[in-house]
């Protein structure tokens, strides 16, 4: 449990770093929203992430910014039958032929996709 909170905390710090790097000079702007793409494989709990983000951004240019999280499902491609499947949960076999010879083609994203700034 503690390890998990640490995970979200470091992710929140990383996101804040990315946003700050992308802010216009002067840092006088307020960030309204940060859009994120988070793959299910990252195992991030959105509630914990939001909690850490809010705690870390108090009294900064990001204070009050909304985290807008877009969840990316896990997508696999089978090296055997070539079928591409979106899966729920963590089943790492091809749903079409049952082969374990698969590769992940989506679901491990952790990206800031958009930063909304108010002026
Ligand atoms: Zn297959």
The C-alpha atoms of residue 80 and residue 99 are separated, in whole angstroms, by 7
Residue 104 CA to ligand 1 centre (angstroms)? 13
Residue 92 CA to ligand 1 centre (angstroms)? 11
Residue 84 CA to ligand 1 centre (angstroms)? 8
pLDDT tens digits, one per residue of 19-72: 999 987 765 678 999 999 999 999 899 999 999 999 999 999 899 999 999 999
Query: Residues of 31-65 as b/e, b for ≥16 C-beta within 10 angstroms?
Result: beebebbbbbbbebeeebbeebbbeebeeebbeeb
Lowest mean pLDDT among 6-10, 12-16, 52-56: 6-10
Residue 10 CA to ligand 1 centre (angstroms)? 36
Q: How confident is the model at residue 6 (pLDDT cuts 50, 70, 90)?
A: confident
pLDDT at 119: 72
Residue 32 CA to ligand 1 centre (angstroms)? 44
**pLDDT of 1 higher than 50:** no
**pLDDT of 5 higher than 60:** no
């Amino acid at each position: 449990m503690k390890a998990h909170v640490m995970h979200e905390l470091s992710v929140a710090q990383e996101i804040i770093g990315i946003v700050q790097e992308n802010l216009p000079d002067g840092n006088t702007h307020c960030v309204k929203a940060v859009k994120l793409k988070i793959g299910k494989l990252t195992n991030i709990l959105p509630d914990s992430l939001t909690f850490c983000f809010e705690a870390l951004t108090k009294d900064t240019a990001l204070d009050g910014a909304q985290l807008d999280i877009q969840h990316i499902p896990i997508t696999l491609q089978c090296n055997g039958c070539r079928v591409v499947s979106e899966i729920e949960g963590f089943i790492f076999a091809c749903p079409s032929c049952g082969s374990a010879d698969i590769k992940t083609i989506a679901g491990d994203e952790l990206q800031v996709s958009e930063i909304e700034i108010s002026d």
